[in-house]
Structure 1
Amino acid sequence: TGSHEALELRDGDPKRYNGKGVLKAVKHVNTIIAKRLAGIDVTHQRDIDMTMLMLDGTENQSRLGANAILGVSLACAHAGAKAKQMPLYQYLRWVYDIRSTVYRLPTPTMNILNGGAHAGWILDFQEFMIVPQQKLLRERVRCGAEVFHALGKLLKKKGFSTLKGDEGGYAVPLKSNEEAFKLVMQAIKDAGYKAGKEVMLAMDPAVSELYDAKKKRYTLKVDKKTMTSAQMIAMWEKWLKKYPIISLEDGLAEDDWDNWVVMTKKFGKKVALVGDDFFVTNVARLQKGIDMGAANAILIKVNQIGSLTEAVDAILLAQQNGYKINVSHRSGETEDTTIADLAVAVNAEFIKTGSLSRSERLAKYNRLMEIEEEVR
């Protein structure tokens, strides 16, 4: 979770859901928001979202709660699609005046090995992903499933318990962070695919979690190292040469702006350098990155910014400036499939929605395969 995200309003009552209840946010929906939105055409999505943001009046939606605003925002989008008798991906194009007539299915970046905060810190880096390269999405899903299960067999053979992390990938204690990639490469081979051709790699090290802003150092406990930004960049450069990595997300800390520029100059033409905590789906932070020449891709999380319209605005700004789009789930996720439709609506290059296990992850893959059948 980036420190610059919109605020998810929780009740803070330790006697109810350990303080994570949302009665306050629900009350805001049923009173303040409902009263103000009553009578507005449900297909006026931008007006609806802007009205809620004005009602809130804070930079990070801390008054009403981003969870209150986003819940209404997404509900209105689904209702509008029903009213117009359109599938959601088609409706989103219509409501935001996205002129493209071709639908391109996003390439999944599948998180099959988990670490970091999502897996009890058994590895320093958070996500080791595979990126299947088959032509049809359904074949990419098949490839991902086969590699995922091949990895499970490999881990069992090596004596590991095949526990899963938050996003459905295996969570195992390895001797080094790099060993994760070696295992994934072997699993690709065991599944009968060619790494670097049929399956590429991606990673989200989420290194803001490892960064000490005062010391300006990254601490890798598994590798027993403390590193500067320059050393981190050198390590990524080495790994990019060694492994078929096509996407590196949050390779530096969220406020390490100058070094993001250095990293982008070094290998921004070879790989997608994705800003997640770095951009937090925020137009202002994205514009700063564009102006500075930092990163070349953005991760889109609708609840990072708190409304569908703001997320779409970030996507459109990114696309206007040649940045790639990766529409993403969260580590804490539901079975809602809106992000699958959103990724298709905007012709996102990538979608990140976890491993090939856990129903809240699989729901998005299933929805994408449904859409593929409709638009082919």
Structure 2
Amino acid sequence: MAVLHASAASAGVPLWQHLAGGRPVRIPLPEIQIFGGGAHADRRVDVQDFMVMCPAAGSFSEALDWTAEIYRAAGSLMREAGKAQGVADEGGFWPAFDSNEEALETLTRAIEAAGFTPSAQVGISLDVAASQFGSGGRYTLALDDRTLDTAALIDMLGDWIEQYPILSVEDPVGEDDTDGMVEFTRRYGHRCQVIGDDYLVTDAKRVEAAATSGAANAVLVKPNQAGTVTEAFQALCAGKDAGFGTIVSARSGETEDITIAHLSVGWNAGQLKVGSFTRSERMAKWNEVLRIEESLGESAEFSGWSAFAFPDSGPSATKP
């Protein structure tokens, strides 16, 4: 990353522009945490991230405005119910829900309370991070006091997709459960994004294999998961070659470094996942993309719905 910044500085251009090399770029669709769970919140809920995405927004700036309203509405609902317990590692609310599904119910209510239409304007993104609570095809949801096999977990997530405005599901089954990833993508990959993170680990060869087997339709790209910017870029290119959605992402342990904001724009990834709407190491990235969008002025193109690669995506998609 240091060499990358030095190269851009030597060329006298912003890092995103240096990365783009004259190719067209879009401002990414942000994926922003509202409730934190799993390993990020002492397993208060089993699912790791409950996030929102605003593909109907007209710009990155507007997407952040909408998210701010939803974040505030969620906080109000939590306080009214006596369930606000602070914030999780990445800045989302640390809730005291009675079940994993209650988080989905509350987030949907927050979207509506903020004045937005679920599915048509704002959708939910889940990072299930199933490897954190299961392996070998057995999954224990401590909050729900249930142990499920792969088929039952897929059915449960499918029920959620039917009932709530879910646009994206990350790591729905464990990193060792290829058959489960294939089956989940087969059943639901036409109507939501199925992201491989723990399953693909920013590895181009694993992305290529997943494209062949049908084990995902989107890849999360983390430079410090791969180890080098080059390897991260190779994984992103493998995703694009496969027709996958591509998401540049931060990790749970972060600094205020803003490099990934430039990677998401310069690589035309389409999506950026950083964490929540609080904490300086998270806001630094969102603010940097805002600056990039402002610098582009009227020529800035926001990815919006075009960020998704699954067939049923778009403003006309219908869900409850």
TM-score under structure 2 length normalisation: 0.90
Partner of 1:123: 45
C-alpha distance in 2, partners of 1:142/1:210? 34
For residues 194-224 of structure 1, give each alpha carbon's deviation from its aligned partner in whole angstroms, at most 9, with x where no partner exists: 21222111100100011132xx310001011
Partner of 1:355: 276
2:288 pairs with 367, 373, 376, which one? 367
Asked if 1:148 is matched to 2:71, the reply is: yes
For residues 215-272 of structure 1, give each alpha carbon's deviation from its aligned partner in whole angstroms, at most 9, with x where no partner exists: x310001011110111111111111111111100000100111121111111111111
Partner of 1:256: 177
Asked if 1:91 is matched to 2:91, the reply is: no
- SS of structure 2 residue aligned to 1:77: helix
Asked if 1:177 is matched to 2:100, the reply is: yes
C-alpha distance in 1, partners of 2:18/2:260? 13
Matches within 5 A, 1:68-79: 74-79=1-6
Partner of 2:233: 312
Q: Contact (CA 8 Å) 1:113, 1:129: kept in 2 or not?
A: yes
C-alpha distance in 2, partners of 1:294/1:189? 33
Please tell me the residue identity of whatever aligns with 1:318: G
Please tell me the residue identity of whatever aligns with 1:75: A
Partner of 1:193: 116
Q: Say which is worse superposed, 272-281 or 127-136, in terms of deviation.
A: 127-136
- SS of structure 2 residue aligned to 1:332: coil
C-alpha distance in 1, partners of 2:75/2:88? 13
Please tell me the residue identity of whatever aligns with 1:108: P
Partner of 1:132: 54
Q: Contact (CA 8 Å) 1:152, 1:162: kept in 2 or not?
A: no
- SS of structure 1 residue aligned to 2:264: helix
- SS of structure 2 residue aligned to 1:354: strand
Are the structure 2 counterparts of residues 161 and 270 from structure 1 closer, same or farther at C-alpha, using a change threshold of 3 Å?
Answer: closer
Partner of 1:60: none
- SS of structure 1 residue aligned to 2:86: coil
2:138 pairs with 217, 228, 232, which one? 217
Which structure is richer in relative contact order (CA contacts within 8 A, separation 6 or more)? 2
- SS of structure 1 residue aligned to 2:205: helix
- SS of structure 2 residue aligned to 1:82: helix
Please tell me the residue identity of whatever aligns with 2:79: K
More strand by share: 2
Q: Contact (CA 8 Å) 1:247, 1:273: kept in 2 or not?
A: yes
Q: Contact (CA 8 Å) 2:35, 2:49: kept in 1 or not?
A: yes
Q: Contact (CA 8 Å) 1:137, 1:372: kept in 2 or not?
A: yes
Q: Contact (CA 8 Å) 2:221, 2:236: kept in 1 or not?
A: yes
Partner of 1:58: none
Asked if 1:303 is matched to 2:224, the reply is: yes
C-alpha distance in 1, partners of 2:288/2:187? 37
- SS of structure 2 residue aligned to 1:184: helix
C-alpha distance in 2, partners of 1:189/1:258? 36
Shift of 1:291: 1.9
- SS of structure 1 residue aligned to 2:83: coil
Please tell me the residue identity of whatever aligns with 1:89: W
- SS of structure 2 residue aligned to 1:352: strand
Q: Contact (CA 8 Å) 1:335, 1:360: kept in 2 or not?
A: yes
Q: Contact (CA 8 Å) 2:208, 2:242: kept in 1 or not?
A: no
For residues 330-353 of structure 1, give each alpha carbon's deviation from its aligned partner in whole angstroms, at most 9, with x where no partner exists: 111110111111011121121111
Q: Contact (CA 8 Å) 1:106, 1:349: kept in 2 or not?
A: yes
Please tell me the residue identity of whatever aligns with 1:210: F
Asked if 1:283 is matched to 2:204, the reply is: yes
Please tell me the residue identity of whatever aligns with 1:352: K
For residues 262-311 of structure 1, give each alpha carbon's deviation from its aligned partner in whole angstroms, at most 9, with x where no partner exists: 11111111111000000000112112212211100000111001000100
Q: Which runs of 5+ in 1 are unaligned?
A: 1-73
Partner of 1:103: 25
Matches within 5 A, 1:208-247: 208-213=131-136, 216-247=137-168
For residues 68-105 of structure 1, give each alpha carbon's deviation from its aligned partner in whole angstroms, at most 9, with x where no partner exists: xxxxxx000000000001110111123xxxx63x2211
Moved segments of 4+, more than 2 Å? none
Partner of 2:9: 82
C-alpha distance in 2, partners of 1:267/1:181? 18
C-alpha distance in 1, partners of 2:115/2:180? 39
Q: Which runs of 5+ in 2 are unaligned?
A: 301-320
Are the structure 2 counterparts of residues 161 and 259 from structure 1 closer, same or farther at C-alpha, using a change threshold of 3 Å?
Answer: closer
Partner of 1:323: 244
C-alpha distance in 2, partners of 1:288/1:161? 42
- SS of structure 2 residue aligned to 1:353: strand
